[in-house]
Amino acid sequence: MKPGRGPDEPLDPYLPQNGNRGYRASRYELELTYKVHSNRLTGKATITTVTTEARSWFALDLAPDLHVTKVAANGARNTKWVHRNGKLVVTPAQKIPAGGALVLTIQYGGSPKPIRTMWGEVGWEELTEGSLVASQPNGAASWFPCDDHPSSKASYRISITTDSPYYTVANGALVSKQTRASQTTWVYEQTEPMSSYLATIQIGPYERRRVGSGGVEIFAVHPPRLRSSFDIDFGRQPEMMDLFGRLFGPYPFADYTVVVTEDELEIPVEAQGLSIFGANHCTGRRGSERLVAHELAHQWFGNSLTLRQWRDIWLHEGFACYAEWLWSENSGGRTAHQLALQAHLGLSRKPQDLVVADPGPQLMFDDRIYKRGAITLHALRLRLGDENFFALLQQWTRSHSHSSVSAEQFTDLAAHYTDESLRSLWDTWLGEKALPPL
C-alpha cells in the first residue's frame, strides 16, 4: 500500500487482503522462466486493465517471496512502486482518468513457494520432479502479480521456458513449443475469461496422449508408468463428459486435460480446462471415480460459472458433489436419492453449527458444505421434477457462461421453473444451521 493512504474497502470479507479496486483486468501475458532443480522463477507480467475510477495508485497481489525489479505503467519507466505485505502498489507518472487504459508491466523473480493460509498451503508447490500450481482460493500471487479475486476474470497468455526433459501444461491451447539447447518454451493461450486462482502450470516427467475424442477431446498427462492404471481409473471420462453435457449443457471449453503427478496429493484440484490428481488416485482399481466426476463437473460449476463472493462456495462444491451422485445414478450405481439419504444421515450425526449460505471463511471448504449443498439441489429436484430441474441447470450454465455468479441469481432463476414459492426451501437448507428433513 502507498504510504499515507489507507487501505481500500475489502472486496470480500472472507479474504479481506485479496483483490483490488480501481481497475478491471482484461488480459494477462506472462513470460516465465523456471529452473526445476533450483526452484527459481523469473517473470515478466504484462497486465492490461481499464480503470474504474480516477486515483493516483493501483495495487496488485504478489507474494513477498517474489522480488520486483522493474515496473512500468503505460510504458513509462519513471513509474513509482512499493512491494510490501503481499501488495505491489503502483503510482503511474501520469494520472489516468476513469475508463482509461492502464497497462502494467512488472519484472520479478525469486523462489516461489505456497502461501500459508487457514486452509493449508496454496499456490506454487515443488514436486519431487517438477512443480504444480493449486491456488484455490488465494494462491495465484505465489507466482505472478494479479488481481487475486474470483470475480476478476481475464484472458491469459502463459509462456514458460523450462528444462527440456519435462512436459509443461498450462491453461488453454498450446499455440507454440520451441526447443533450444537444453530448454523448451511452451506458450498457451486461454481465450475464455479465467479467475486468477484457476490459472495453473504443471511441470513434470510426463507424457501426453488423447484418451477421448467424442464430442469433446480429452487428454491425459502423466508419468509413463501410470498409463495402464490411468486407462482404468479414468476410463469412463468420455461417458461422464457425454452425460454432463446432456444434463448441464455443452462443455464450456475447447478440450479437457487431466494431469496425474508423480507425487501423491491429498485431494485433486481443478483448474480451468484441467484437473490435477495425485499418483494415489491412479491405482488401477477405480477407487477415485467419484472424484473424477467431481473435478470434471467443476468445469461448468466453478470455472465457467465462477462465484462472485466466497460465501457462495456451495455453488461450486454443492453442484460438483451432486454431479458425483448423478454420475452414479446414470452409470449403474446407487441413485442420487439413495446417496442424498446417506449423506443426510451422515450430516445428522455431525455438528449443526454451519450456515451453507454464509459459512464464514474457516468453514468454507468444510465437507458439510459439499454434502448439504448437494442435498439442497436434490431437494430442489424433488420439488421441481426432473424436466424442470435439468432445464434450470442448462439455463443457468447458458445464461452465465464464463461469468461471475451469486447464489441470489440462482435462486431467482429457479423461481421461474415453478408456480410455488421456493422461499422456505432456500431458508431452511441454505439459511438455517439445523438440518431439515429430506
3-class DSSP state of 132 = strand
233-274 per-position pLDDT tens digit: 999 999 999 999 999 999 999 999 999 999 999 999 999 999
Q: Which CATH number fits domain 207-299: 3.30.2010.30, 2.30.42.10, 3.10.105.10, 1.10.10.10?
A: 3.30.2010.30
What CATH class does 23-117+133-197 carry?
A: mainly beta
Question: Which of 2.130.10.10, 1.10.30.50, 1.10.390.10, 2.102.10.10 would CATH assign to domain 307-431?
Answer: 1.10.390.10
Please say if the pLDDT value at position 15 is more than 80. yes
Residue 278's alpha-carbon distances to 69, 127, 163, 275, 382, in angstroms, are 35, 11, 22, 10, 36
Give the mean model confidence (pLDDT) for residues 383-403. Answer: 98
Mean pLDDT for the stretch of residues 34-42: 97
Mean pLDDT of all residues in 392-416: 98
Given a cut of 50, whether residue 1 has pLDDT beyond it is no
Q: With contact defined as beta carbons under 8 Å apart, do 97 and 90 qualify?
A: no
Instruction: Show me where the domains of the chain are located.
Output: 23-117+133-197, 207-299, 307-431
393-403 average pLDDT score: 98
Q: From the CB of residue 437, how many other CB atoms can be counted at a distance below 10 Å?
A: 7
Q: How far apart are CA 30 and CA 55, in angstroms?
A: 26
Q: Tell me, what's the pLDDT at 3?
A: 40
Q: What is the pLDDT of residue 77?
A: 86
Predicted local distance difference test score (pLDDT) of residue 6: 56
Residues of the chain above pLDDT 90, percent: 97
Strand runs (DSSP E) across 244-347, as ranges? 255-260, 269-271, 274-277, 305-307
pLDDT, tens digit, 9 for 90 and up, residues 409-433: 999 999 999 999 999 999 999 999 9
Average pLDDT estimate for 158-182: 97
Cβ partners under 8 Å of residue 93, min gap 6: 73, 76, 78, 79, 80
Predicted pLDDT of residue 215: 87
pTM: 0.96
Longest dimension (CA), the chain: 68
Mean pLDDT of the chain: 96
Q: What is the pLDDT of residue 214?
A: 80
Which of 234, 232, 240, 233 lies closest to 214 in space, CA to CA? Answer: 240
Q: How far apart are CA 359 and CA 313, in angstroms?
A: 9
Query: Treating both helix axes as pointing N-terminal to C-terminal, what angle do 314-330 and 237-248 enclose, rounded to 10 degrees?
Result: 120
